[in-house]
Amino acid sequence: AVELTGLDNIVGKTIRKNDKPYQVIGVVKDMVMQSPYNPTVPTIFSIDYEWASIFNVKLTPGVPVQDALKKVETVFKKLDPDAPFDYKFADDEYDAKFRSEERIGKLARVFAILAIFISCLGLFGLSAYVAEQRTKEIGIRKVLGASLTNLWAMLSKDFIGLVFISCFVAVPVAWYYLSGWLASYTYRIGLQWWVFVMAGVLAVAVTLFTVSFQSIRAALANPARSLRSE
């Protein structure tokens, strides 16, 4: 609302609303009064004793809420003794505006955890199958002097390569859809590149943790037994 006046300092000035003069006693930051999907509109907070139905009250930080409410109720009853004293907190109202987003976030977390768990089961089974198929190769490499680290890296690198390919495909897709989703909000956060890097690092870590059990188990197996079985 201040921008519409064209004044740098409007405090103390007199403006007219509905042909009534009002003196400006303060300016507050932009507030999301309606839907968070829409930009804020110019708003004037004023007292009209004839038509007043809602009062916005700022409580002093550190003052017990119940004590403050009693004082507000006392003033309210002086203004209109017959009206019921109902109140709402701004925090609760803001929470209500974003309640659907909170539900979506909780569902996303549940399904993400479930997807990671199922993926780990698949990786565990696939790594066991790959290790079983390369038993003879592992035995020969171990006889020729391959260390545990060498064998672990040999069995893990193919899975890590698949993770890098999946990240290469998933990151642009996630960036596109997240950008479109955030664009529906007037006030929104920006997408940071490090979030996608961290997601890739976590994906690699989870893959290594899942695959390492089978890789190390195969690397520690007796090469004589594996070669004899072939």
pLDDT tens by residue, 172-185:
999 999 998 888 77
Six token digits for residue 207 = 């893959």
- 21: pLDDT strictly greater than 80: yes
Task: Say what the pLDDT of residue 106 is.
Answer: 92
β-sheet bridge partners, residue 17: 20
Note whether 114 and 27 are same-domain residues: no
Residues 106 and 220 in one domain: yes
- Our count of domains for the chain comes to 2
Q: In this structure, are residues 130 and 138 in contact, taking their beta carbons and an 8 Å threshold?
A: no
Residue 226: band (very low, low, confident or very high) from pLDDT cuts 50, 70, 90: low
- pLDDT band of 201, cuts 50, 70, 90: very high
Over 132-190, what HEC string results?
HHCHHHHHHHHHCCCCHHHHHHHHHHHHHHHHHHHHHHHHHHHHHHHHHHHCCCCCCCC
Residue 56 placed within a domain:
no
The secondary structure of residue 1, as a DSSP letter, is: -
Band of the pLDDT at 154, cuts 50, 70, 90? Answer: confident
Better-scored residue on pLDDT, 227 or 35: 35
| Same domain? 102 vs 176 | yes
pLDDT category, 150, cuts 50, 70, 90? confident
Beta strands in the chain (DSSP E): 14-17, 20-23
Domain membership flag for residue 64 = no
Checking if the pLDDT of 79 tops 60, the result is: yes
The reply to whether 119 and 225 lie within a common domain is yes
Question: At 145, which amino acid appears?
Answer: G
Q: What is the pLDDT of residues 52-77, one digit of tens each?
A: 677 778 888 888 989 999 999 998 88
